[in-house]
Amino acid sequence: GYSSTDLRATSALHDCLSNLDDAAEEICGSLKQMRKLGATGESRETFRFQMSNVQTWMSVALTNEETCTNGFRSGASGEAKAVYARAAEAKKYTSNAFALAKRRSRTCNLLFFY
């Protein structure tokens, strides 16, 4: 039979994969919104709204990835450790992308709207 540790690890793995799927969807939403930036005749309000959407989706993606990595304990099995490592790597890239989106928002506000 399965031990309670095995069941916890399986549950954490399932939850993590679900969270990573959600994070991927949020990142795709951010990318779609970023492609709309800079449209001709865009107002300051439209730009701010679009960048707010990007930042919200990236923040949610990061939260989903964080939830994934928090689901594992230090004594996780080999498979769980591999998933944790990949989730931690995804979290790093998402965090960097989020920081760049916030920087772009501030820079564009300074350059184009003031």
Return d(Cα 28, Cα 61) in angstroms, integer: 10
pLDDT beyond 70 at 76: no
> How does pLDDT run across 27-53, given as a tens digit for each residue?
888 888 878 776 666 777 888 888 888
Q: Which residue has the higher pLDDT, 78 or 46?
A: 46
Instruction: Give the H or E element holding residue 18.
Output: helix 4-36
pLDDT beyond 50 at 61: yes
pLDDT beyond 50 at 99: yes
pLDDT beyond 50 at 114: no
Place of tokens 């990573």: 20
On whether the pTM is more than 0.85, the answer is no
Return d(Cα 26, Cα 62) in angstroms, integer: 9
3-state helix, strand, coil in the chain (%, to 5): 85, 0, 15
